[in-house]
Amino acid sequence: MMQEVLRLENLQKSFGSVRALKNASLTLKEGEVVALLGDNGAGKSTLIKAISGVFPIDRGDIYVRGKKVSIRSTREAMDLGIETIHQDTSLAPDLSIARNLFLGREPVNLKWLGVFAPLDLAKLRDAASALLKRVGISKKLDANALVSTLSGGERQSIAISRAMQFAAKVIILDEPTNNLGVEETHGVLRFVKEMRAAGHSVLLITHNIHHVFEVADRIIIMRRGEIVAEQTVADTDLLTVESLITGADLSALMKRA
């Protein structure tokens, strides 16, 4: 029943002499929330950037629903149903909220005009306002407001609403609760649960282990570019996960104390 949606096999990526990703493999199933954990610089962002087409991988295979694919651009990743919210924020500050929500997938009239097609401004504004209301992870925002006038948390909320809107198969969130207040953080976690309930798969990167235990089904831990452990949330505990992330045996330490 739980069908495989995304499978990565032996992904490798180097930046010059830095081997950011060495042989990373993982599987993501339908309706599953997988948390990707690891210390700063472990290679988490690099891994998800490779999946979302930000840069090409050096070696390795990517399968979407069992079919081997090559993702050469962000557009191709989006077309395969992979939506990503990057850690280094992904909005254009000089554009309005509405224009950001639909960036790259603008509703237009006269579609045959291609890139010269006129934007359907009414639809853009209305859909944006409706979406902001539905997400509810933020106070009322005017869809015409420029993103440069928003707080960091509000921007994050906008980026998340955008991923929701296209109802992608795989939603990747790179530290989505950074900069968020209490209310917005719960909004994000609620969103993750909602997405799972609707059958989407979520790959969640975070440094907050409490959040992981709240929403995730499975945990994958990375260290220095490699996947070092994989656990189901039901069969593990906070201490074990923390020690796996740092590489030190914390639980042994605790017992001794």
Partner 1 sequence: MVQQVMVQQVGAVISEDGAGRAKGRSSLMRSPQFSSFVILIVLLVVFAVADGNFLSPLNISNMMAFLPELGIIALGMTLLLTAGEFDLSVGAVFALAPVVVMLLVQNAGIDIGVALFAGLLLCIAIGAINGVIVTKIGISSFLVTLSMLLIVRGAALYITQGFPLKSWDQPGFFVTLLAGSFNIGAFRFYTSLWWFIGLSLLAVYVLHYAKLGNWISAIGSNRNAAVARGVPADAVKIWLFVLTSVLAGLAGMISAFRISAASPVAGTGYELEVIAMVVVGGTALTGGRGTILGTIVGALMLRAIRNGIVLVGVPGLAYNIFVGVIILAMLILHALLQKNAARS
Ligand X SMILES: Nc1ncnc2c1ncn2[C@@H]1O[C@H](COP(=O)(O)OP(=O)(O)OP(=O)(O)O)[C@@H](O)[C@H]1O
Residues that bind partner 1 (CB under 8 A): 52, 54, 73-75, 78, 84, 86, 88-95, 99-100, 103-106, 108, 113, 115-119, 121, 125-127, 129-131, 133-134, 142-144, 148-149, 164-165, 167, 198
Question: Residues 6 or more apart from 64 whose CB is under 8 A from it?
Answer: 5, 6, 80, 81, 82, 169
98 vs 212 by CB, closer to Mg ion: 212
Identify whether the C-beta of residue 228 lies closer than 8 Å to the C-beta of residue 53: no
Asked if residue 177 binds Mg ion (CB under 5 A), the reply is no
Q: Write the interaction track for ligand X spanning residues 106-125; mark x where CB under 6 A is met and - where it is not.
A: --------------------
Question: Residues 6 or more apart from 182 whose CB is under 8 A from it?
Answer: none
- Contacting Mg ion within 184-213 (CB under 5 A): none
Question: Residues 6 or more apart from 5 whose CB is under 8 A from it?
Answer: 28, 29, 30, 64, 65, 169, 170, 201
68 vs 134 by CB, closer to partner 1: 134
Rg of the chain (C-alpha set): 19
Residue 91 interface partner, choices ligand X, partner 1, Mg ion, none, CB cut-off 5-8 Å depending on type: partner 1
* Whole-angstrom distance, CA of residue 29 vs CA of residue 253: 35
Residue 70 interface partner, choices ligand X, Mg ion, partner 1, none, CB cut-off 5-8 Å depending on type: none
To partner 1, the closest distance from the beta carbon of 162 in angstroms equals 8
